[in-house]
Amino acid sequence: MAFIDAAQLDKKRVLIRLDLNVPLQDGLIQDDSRIREALPTIKHVLKMNGIPILCSHLGKPKGERNQGLSLQPVAKRLSQLLEREIKMAPDCIGSEVKDLVNRLEPGEVLLLENLRFHSGETKNDKEFSRQLAELGDVFVNDAFGVVHRKHASVVGVVDYAPASYGGFLLKKETEYLRKALLNPDRPFVLIAGGAKVSTKLGVLSNLADKVDRVIVGGAMANTFLKAQGFGTGLSLVEPELQDDALQIMNRTKKNKVSFYFPVDFVTGRDVKASQPSGIHPYQDIPAQDMMLDIGPASHTLFAEALKDAKTVIWNGPMGAFENPVFSQGSFGMAETVAGVQGTTIIGGGDTDSLVHKSGVHESISFISTGGGSFLEFMEGKELPGLKVLGI
Considering the domain architecture, whether residues 203 and 349 belong to the same structural domain is answered as yes
Per the structure, the complete domain to which residue 310 belongs is given by: 184-378
The distance in angstroms from the start CA to the end CA of the chain is: 5
36: Cβ contacts below 8 Å, ≥ 6 apart: 81
Beta carbons of 275 and 245 less than 8 angstroms apart: no
List of residues 6+ apart from 21 with CB closer than 8 A: 34, 56, 57, 58, 59, 145
Residue 193: active-site member = no
Q: What CA–CA distance (Å, rounded) separates 260 from 377?
A: 23
Q: Of 146, 71, 147, 143, nearest to 109 (Cα)? A: 71
Residue at which a domain ends, from 147, 172, 197: 172
- Which 8-state DSSP code applies to residue 386? H
| Segment-wise mean pLDDT, segments of 10 residues, the chain, 391 residues | 90 98 92 94 98 98 96 98 97 98 97 98 98 98 97 98 97 94 96 90 89 96 96 96 94 94 97 97 97 98 98 96 97 98 92 93 94 93 96 94
Q: What is the pLDDT of residue 74?
A: 98
User: Is 136 found in the same domain as 69?
Assistant: yes
Same domain, 233 and 122: no
Same domain, 202 and 290: yes
Q: In the annotation, is 196 catalytic? A: yes
CB atoms within 10 A of CB 39: 15
The Cα 353–Cα 321 span in angstroms is 10
The question of whether 11 is a catalytic residue gets the answer no
> Cα separation of 387 and 146, whole Å?
13
Helices (H), 255-316: 296-306
Residue 287 has a CB neighbour count (10 Å cut-off) of 8
User: Residue 111 falls within a domain, yes or no?
Assistant: yes
87, 123, 349, 357: the catalytic one is: 349
178 falls within a domain: no
Residues 200 and 321 in one domain: yes
- Helix or strand or coil: residue 351? helix
> Choosing from 196, 210, 251, 357, which is the catalytic residue?
196
The pLDDT value recorded for residue 269 is 96
- The whole-angstrom separation of Cα 315 and Cα 192 is 5
DSSP state letters, 309-321: -SEEEEES-SS-T
Catalytic annotation present for 349: yes
298 and 320 within one domain: yes
Distance CA 258, CA 269 (A): 32
Instruction: Decide if 308 is inside a domain.
Output: yes
Q: Is residue 388 assigned to a domain?
A: no
E strand or H helix at 164: strand 164-166
Give me the pLDDT at residue 197, please: 86
**What per-residue confidence (pLDDT) applies to 1?**
52
How many structural domains compose the chain?
2
Q: What is the pLDDT of residue 32?
A: 93
- Would you state the pLDDT for residue 265? 98
Q: Look up the pTM and report it.
A: 0.92
Of the listed 59, 202, 342, 372, which one is catalytic?
A: 372
Q: Among the options 34, 116, 200, 213, which is catalytic?
A: 34
Contact 115, 73 (CB under 8 A): no
